[in-house]
Amino acid sequence: MKFLRKLFKCIVIFLLLLSIMAGLFVGFRTYQFTNNVNQHRQNVETVANEQGVGEFTDTILGIMYTESKGIGTDLMQSSESAYGSRGQISTQEESIQYGVEHFAQAYQLSQQAGCDLSTAVQAYNYGFQYIDYVKSKGGKNSVELAEAYSRDVLSPGLGNVTQNQYRYVKIQALLYNGGYLYSDGGNMFYADIVDMNERLVDWFYQIQK
C-alpha cells in the first residue's frame, strides 16, 4: 500500500512537470510566432493607413498570425485573392500589400452592407459573397452563420455535395462541435481565431515595449 502511494505520488509529480514543460514550450513558441508577426507591424500599419484601415492594424496582424505565424513569403496567404492561384507571391512586402488591400475591400463592402467587422474578417477566408449572405441574415457574423454558409454554399459549390467533414483540432472547434470542418468549406471559426490571435499579438507587443 505504501509502495502504491509512492508510485501514485511519483506519477502525479511527473504529470505536473510534464504539464509545466508543455506550457513553457507552448508559451515560447507563441512568443516566437508573435514576435515574427510584430516585426511586420510598421509595414502593415503603413499599408493599412494608405488603404484607410489603419485603425485595424492589430486585426490585420491577427490575420497574418492565423495565416502564416509570420513565417515564409506569403505572410497573408494573399496569392489566391490577388492572382487566383497559390504560389504567385514573390516577396513578403507584396503579400502584405495584397493582403491588406483584400481586407480593406472586405471591410468597406461590409460597412456598405451594414455588417460588422467580424463579417469582414470571415470574408477574408470565405470570399466577399459571404458579406451579402450575412446581410441577408441580419448583418452580424456568428459561428452558426459561418457554419451554414460553409455547409450549404461554399463546400458544395467546390464539389463537396455530401457534406464530408474532417478533424480540426482547435479550441474553438472542439468546444463548438467536437472539432471538425467541412471539406472545401473554408474555416467557419476563422473570425474567432483571428480575434484570439489578434489579442495574443497585441499582448506580446505591449509587454515588449
Task: Kindly give, in sequence order, each residue whose CB lies less than 8 Å from that of residue 115, ignoring residues fewer than 6 positions away.
Answer: 131, 134, 135, 139, 140, 141
What domains appear along the chain, each with residue ranges and CATH number?
Answer: 2-138+189-208 (1.10.530.10)
Band the pLDDT of 159: cuts 50, 70, 90.
very high
Asked if 78 and 98 count as a contact pair (C-beta separation under 8 A), the reply is: yes
Place of cell 490575420: 63
The set of cell numbers assigned to 173 is 472547434
Query: To which H or E segment does residue 7 belong?
Result: helix 2-38
Q: What is the mean pLDDT of residues 176-197?
A: 97
Quote the CA–CA distance of 1 and 117 in Å, as a whole number: 61
What mean pLDDT comes out for the span 179-205?
A: 96
pLDDT of residue 87: 84
What does the mean pLDDT of the chain come to?
91
Would you list the DSSP string of 31-88? HHHHHHHHTTHHHHHHHHHHTT-GGGHHHHHHHHHHHHTT-SS-TT--HHHHHSSTT-
Q: Please give the average per-residue pLDDT across 130-155, as a whole number.
A: 97
Alpha-carbon distance of 26 to 32, in angstroms, equals 10
* 89's grid cell: 507571391
Look up the pTM and report it: 0.88
d(CA 54, CA 48): 4
pLDDT band at residue 86, thresholds of 50, 70 and 90?
confident
Q: Are 74 and 95 in contact (CB under 8 A)?
A: yes
The Cα 19–Cα 159 span in angstroms is 42
Predicted confidence (pLDDT) per residue in 87-135, tens digit: 899 999 999 999 999 999 999 999 999 999 999 999 999 999 999 999 9
